[in-house]
């Protein structure tokens, strides 16, 4: 499969305090890569580096073979869509308005959104099953509904890469499963490359093809969920004793916590 | 939304037009609306009959009341659109050129230009408005730099920075006023805010700034919408955040400063008009900005009408009126914000 993003020896951080050090990995088209690790291991920083919000101190990122710096912000947004943890909701835009904002990188300066843009936005809402509340103000929606609208906005960007930053950490259990089912579905259908940052090991294991475990800003290990989610790795990175079992549904490795004495 | 956007805009524009015609009829000499329209038609249609030409009525309408009314329209539109943009820009409902000290900064610039008797013209723009623009812009940048913490701007920092910088600008202006000698009366005017004795020159002084500023904030309305999601998400949606912010802030400062350079400090218009309009058309800046401009214009035309007539033959500075309206509204916003 084609390489969507290649990261080589990437280091970056805030005010000379390094957060990520010497990261190298590929994200391939059609795969769902999970990035896991404890808080402060640099997961969200990785997303900010990949969207060029945070400058690199060393190393390089290439997007479809071209250095990320050579893209304009608009060009990046046509390839890469980000689904954040939360979206500020201090305004009364309707859900459709918010999804239409996903068309921003495709619109020229003096052009308004045309019927095609509207059709793309509505189709995205149909796929994420939020067409029913397209006219409702976004701040009146529940967390799960709102996140579906944000996913629709990402799809309206017509990206080839999706970056997810803890997309379900504020959601109830039923919505977590629903959102990940949806993401797996769109990823498979459109052949998107998906990088998903999450602290939920079981969800990541269930849905991702490959996992990358970060510890203190470096890649501790990466590979298939079976290879990564082992007692030893989790003990070393999360400093927690666990048992790993196979999911009775899918056979994916799942973590069982061991309570302290 | 139940009503189509162009319809709402057209309706508001029609209301504004009739308010202007009515306002031009009222004054020391009452002129019926029909006559006002007749004078306008005579001047605007080249083949007109010019029945009214050279009469006293013609002079009153065309030379005195029309420029003043047009100025109220332009100043109101400029202040309101500037305030609306700043509320989105700072993601803060309390933002307004007056409250943030930008008007005071622009007044200082204008005062300096008058005191030093700067008379040059540049590209058809005169020294007073250029100085007002530069000082207004400088204050805007300083307030922005000071009040910025992360993505959001906290109300308290924004307001306090605005108050401090505005007070500083005003004290410099007062100093000029005391030392100013022969220009005192003219300078006092900037501190009060008034549309009295404004003529066509003043209209032409304001037009280029208002036109350019309004055009820019309208063209960038879509980006401003996206900026409401925060800098990071806006960037991830392809908006060149730093560049767009600089352009929008410059345009908003330009609108406010240009208004101040011809009318002095007229407070709270930039706060009142966008908030009223937001209740009707919602938060989308593509409709909010033009509607706020129209509402601001309407507000100022009506306020000027009251200012001219309430204590006739004496005249009330219009800034007093808008502040009487705006300050309680400001308190209401503050109260509402404290609850949430």
Inter-chain CB proximity A72 and B240 less than 8 Å: yes
Coil, strand or helix at A134: coil
Amino acid B235: pLDDT: 92
Q: How far is the C-alpha of B97 from the C-alpha of B76, rounded, in Å?
A: 12
Amino acid B54: pLDDT: 67
pLDDT in tens, A3-44: 999 999 999 988 778 899 999 999 999 999 999 999 888 888
Inter-chain CB proximity A53 and B235 less than 8 Å: yes
pLDDT in tens, A79-106: 999 999 888 777 789 999 999 999 999 9
* Contact (Cβ atoms closer than 8 angstroms) between residue B52 and residue B37: no
CB atoms within 10 A of CB A70: 9
A162 CA to chain B: closest CA distance, Å? 11
Output the six-digit token pair for A214: 């970060």
Q: How far is the C-alpha of B186 from the C-alpha of B180, rounded, in Å?
A: 10
Inter-chain CB proximity B237 and A72 less than 8 Å: no
Q: Which positions in chain B touch A150 (Cβ < 8 Å)? A: none
Confidence of residue A1 (pLDDT cuts 50, 70, 90): confident
pLDDT at A195 over 90: yes
Q: How far is the C-alpha of B191 from the C-alpha of B111, rounded, in Å?
A: 10
- Cα–Cα–Cα angle for A23, A29, A31, rounded to 5 degrees: 75
Q: For the purposes of burial, counting CB atoms within 10 Å of the CB of B301, is it exposed (0-12), middle (13-18) or buried (19 or more)?
A: buried
* Contact (Cβ atoms closer than 8 angstroms) between residue A210 and residue A219: no
pLDDT at B226 over 70: yes
Strand order in the sheet with A218-223: A80-83, A161-165, A193-197, A32-36, A210-215, A218-223
Percent above pLDDT 90 for chain B: 34
Coil, strand or helix at A253: strand
Amino acid A213: pLDDT: 95
> If we measure between CA atoms, which residue out of B47, B43, B234, B249 comes closest to residue B140?
B249
Determine the length of chain A: 261
Q: How far is the C-alpha of B204 from the C-alpha of B128, rounded, in Å?
A: 13
Confidence of residue B126 (pLDDT cuts 50, 70, 90): confident
* Contact (Cβ atoms closer than 8 angstroms) between residue A53 and residue A46: no
Q: What is the mean pLDDT of the segment spanning A192-220?
A: 94
Distances (CA, A) of B74 to A192, B210, B305: 51, 7, 15
Output the six-digit token pair for B109: 């610039």
A231 phi/psi in degrees, rounded to 5: -50, -45
Say if A194 is an interface residue toward chain B (CB within 8 Å).
no
Output the six-digit token pair for A43: 């997961």
Percent above pLDDT 90 for chain A: 67
Amino acid B2: pLDDT: 46
A134 CA to chain B: closest CA distance, Å? 12
Q: Which positions in chain A touch B233 (Cβ < 8 Å)? A: 82, 84, 87
Amino acid B121: pLDDT: 60
pLDDT at B9 over 90: yes
Say if A51 is an interface residue toward chain B (CB within 8 Å).
yes
The string of DSSP codes covering B118-186 is: ---EETTEEHHHHHHHHHHHHHHHHHHHHHEETTEE-HHHHHHHHHHHHHHHHHHHHHHHHH-GGGHHH
* Contact (Cβ atoms closer than 8 angstroms) between residue B329 and residue B311: no
Amino acid B217: pLDDT: 95
pLDDT in tens, B265-276: 898 899 999 999
Q: What is the mean pLDDT of the segment spanning B120-148?
A: 80
Mean pLDDT of chain B: 85
Amino acid B180: pLDDT: 67
Coil, strand or helix at A121: helix
pLDDT at A125 over 90: yes
Q: What is the mean pLDDT of the segment spanning B24-41?
A: 88
* Contact (Cβ atoms closer than 8 angstroms) between residue A219 and residue A208: no
Output the six-digit token pair for B275: 């908030």
Confidence of residue B48 (pLDDT cuts 50, 70, 90): low
Confidence of residue A143 (pLDDT cuts 50, 70, 90): confident
pLDDT at B237 over 50: yes
CB proximity under 8 Å: B 75-114 to A: 91
pLDDT in tens, B167-218: 999 898 888 888 766 667 767 766 778 887 788 888 888 898 899 999 999 9
Cross-chain CB nearest to A73 (options B219, B240, B284)? B240
Pairing of strands A218-223, A242-246: unpaired
pTM as predicted: 0.88
pLDDT in tens, B84-108: 999 988 888 888 898 888 999 998 9
> If we measure between CA atoms, which residue out of B292, B297, B108, B312 comes closest to residue B196?
B312
Amino acid A199: pLDDT: 87
Q: Worst-scoring range by mean pLDDT, A188-197, B115-124, B135-144, B275-284?
A: B115-124
Q: How far is the C-alpha of B167 from the C-alpha of B101, rounded, in Å?
A: 8
Q: How far is the C-alpha of B162 from the C-alpha of B182, rounded, in Å?
A: 31
Q: How far is the C-alpha of A56 from the C-alpha of B191, rounded, in Å?
A: 50
Q: Worst-scoring range by mean pLDDT, A72-81, B124-133, B206-215?
A: B124-133
Inter-chain CB proximity A88 and B230 less than 8 Å: yes
Inter-chain CB proximity A80 and B219 less than 8 Å: no
A110 CA to chain B: closest CA distance, Å? 7
CB atoms within 10 A of CB B314: 7
pLDDT at B324 over 70: yes
Reported ipTM? 0.90
A218 CA to chain B: closest CA distance, Å? 24
> If we measure between CA atoms, which residue out of B20, B67, B74 comes closest to residue B256?
B74
Q: How far is the C-alpha of B22 from the C-alpha of B35, rounded, in Å?
A: 11
Give the largest CA-CA distance in chain B: 64
């Amino acid at each position: 499969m084609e390489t969507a993003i290649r990261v080589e020896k990437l280091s970056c951080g805030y005010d000379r305090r390094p957060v990520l050090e010497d990261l190298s990995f590929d994200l391939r088209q059609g795969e769902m890569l999970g990035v896991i690790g404890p808080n402060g291991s640099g997961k969200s920083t990785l997303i900010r580096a990949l969207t060029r919000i945070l400058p690199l101190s060393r190393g390089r990122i290439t997007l479809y073979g071209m250095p990320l710096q050579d893209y304009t912000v608009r060009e990046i947004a046509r390839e890469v869509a980000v689904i954040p943890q939360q979206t500020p909701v201090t305004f009364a835009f309707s859900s459709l308005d918010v999804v239409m904002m996903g068309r921003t990188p495709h619109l020229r300066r003096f052009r308004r959104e045309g019927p095609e843009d509207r059709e793309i936005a509505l189709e995205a809402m149909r796929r994420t099953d939020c067409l029913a509340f397209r006219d409702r103000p976004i701040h009146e929606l529940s967390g799960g509904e709102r996140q579906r609208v944000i996913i629709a906005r990402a799809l309206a960007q017509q990206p080839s890469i999706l970056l997810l930053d803890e997309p379900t950490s504020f959601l109830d259990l039923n919505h977590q499963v629903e959102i990940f089912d949806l993401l797996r579905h769109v990823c498979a259908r459109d052949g998107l490359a998906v990088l998903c940052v999450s602290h939920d090991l079981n969800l990541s294991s269930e849905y991702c093809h490959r996992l990358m475990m970060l510890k203190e800003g470096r890649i501790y290990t990466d590979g298939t969920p079976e290879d990564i989610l082992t007692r030893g790795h989790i003990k070393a990175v999360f400093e927690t004793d666990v048992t790993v079992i196979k999911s009775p549904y899918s056979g994916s490795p799942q973590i069982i916590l061991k309570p302290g004495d | 939304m139940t009503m189509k956007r162009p319809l709402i805009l057209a309706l508001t524009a029609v209301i504004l037009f009739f308010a202007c015609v009515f306002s031009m009829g009222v004054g020391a000499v009452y002129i019926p609306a029909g006559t006002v329209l007749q004078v306008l038609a005579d001047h605007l249609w080249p083949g007109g009959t010019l029945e009214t030409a050279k009469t006293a009525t013609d002079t009153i309408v065309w030379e005195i009341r029309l420029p003043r009314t047009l100025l109220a329209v332009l100043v109101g539109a400029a202040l309101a659109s500037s305030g609306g943009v700043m509320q989105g820009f700072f993601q803060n409902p309390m933002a307004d050129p007056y409250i943030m000290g930008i008007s005071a900064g622009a007044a200082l610039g204008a005062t300096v230009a008058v005191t030093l008797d700067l008379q040059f013209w540049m590209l058809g723009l005169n020294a007073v408005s250029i100085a007002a623009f530069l000082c207004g812009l400088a204050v805007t940048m300083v307030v922005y730099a000071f009040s910025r913490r992360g993505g959001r701007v906290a109300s308290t920092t924004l307001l306090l920075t605005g108050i401090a910088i505005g007070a500083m600008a005003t004290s410099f202006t007062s100093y000029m006023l005391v030392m100013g000698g022969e220009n005192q009366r003219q300078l006092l005017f900037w501190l009060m805010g008034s549309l009295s004795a404004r003529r066509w020159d003043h209209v032409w002084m304001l037009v280029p700034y208002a036109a350019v500023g309004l055009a820019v904030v309208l063209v960038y309305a879509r980006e401003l919408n996206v900026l409401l999601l925060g800098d990071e998400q806006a960037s991830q949606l392809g908006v060149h955040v730093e560049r767009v912010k600089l352009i929008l802030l410059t345009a908003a400062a330009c609108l406010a400063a240009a208004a101040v350079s011809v009318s002095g400090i007229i407070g709270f218009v930039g706060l009142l008009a966008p908030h009223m309009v937001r209740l009707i058309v919602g938060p989308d800046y593509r409709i909010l900005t033009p509607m706020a401009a129209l509402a601001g214009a309407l507000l100022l035309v009506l306020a000027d009408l009251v200012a001219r007539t309430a204590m006739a033959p004496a005249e009330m500075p219009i800034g007093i009126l808008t502040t009487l309206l705006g300050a309680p509204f400001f308190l209401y916003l503050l109260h509402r914000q404290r609850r949430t």
